[in-house]
Amino acid sequence: MEYALITGASKGIGKAMAECLAKRKFNLLLVARSEALLSETAAELQRRYQVAVSWLAADLSTPEAPRLVADWVAKNNFPIVVLINNAGYGLWGKFGELSYADQNNMLQLNVQTLVNLTYLMLPNLKQRAKAYILNVGSLAGFQAIPTLSLYAASKALVNTFTRGLARELKNTPVSVTLLAPGGVKTGFLARSGMYHMQQTDDKLSMKPEVVAEIGIRAMLNGKREAVPGFLNRFTALMVKLFPKSVVENITESMYKKK
């Protein structure tokens, strides 16, 4: 009985990915902070898709979290064939004005937890005939974004780390995929305080179920990168072609804190 491990699995893209995999008859390991939401999600997926679902309530923004998850997997002898590093969030505002503690918390979750959990799960994954890693980066990680400077930087690390790791593991059973979405209707704006962009978000952001399906398909097909949505793919291309100063002027005007 093999499992897919998903972080940030109680809502948003993570929950949608869990359903995508359950439909494909993957057994699931769900990790997130909310015990109530995890229990509800696990029961729902078990009932609807007749798959095994176990869950662990843990604050993934703590330094101890990756080892806690790894020990839980080892203690229960869960054979992992899929690792999805989805948990993450953003902070909006000028770097020097945002909370020191909050920014370090974001970095811990977006970067250190993802990197360390990948490291700890890799031996388990390598034991399978075929295994997959899917890291959720961001379109924001392709360029600098004033007032989202640290968030964009954290996702830039995820983007480049994932592509580098994919190359390192190309001759192993483990396939590595980057999912780099743009706006997704997940409550990101509310958590980061970017209420002024709500109308734009309502018009342009994609549904988490659509993004999740694109990511899961790309992962299972062995693709190294997936940018969901034509507009987002076009944006990613323009970022590569335009001078950095032009791109940064555009992003600064879009995300400027009034």
Asked whether the beta carbons of 147 and 257 are under 8 A apart, the reply is yes
Q: What is the 3-state secondary structure (H, E, C) of 117-177?
A: HHHHHHHHHHCCCCEEEEEECCHHHHCCCCCCHHHHHHHHHHHHHHHHHHHHCCCCCEEEE
Q: Which residues pair with 184 in a beta bridge?
A: 206
Say which of 94, 155, 223, 257 is annotated catalytic.
Answer: 155
**Could you tell me the CA-to-CA distances from 170 to 14, 141, 184, 186 in Å, in that order?**
25, 23, 30, 32
Q: Which helix (H) or strand (E) holds 31?
A: strand 27-32
d(CA 257, CA 40) in angstroms, rounded, equals 37
Say which of 49, 89, 151, 255 is annotated catalytic.
Answer: 151
7 φ, ψ to 5°? -95, 155
Active site residue 155: yes
Catalytic residue set: 151, 155
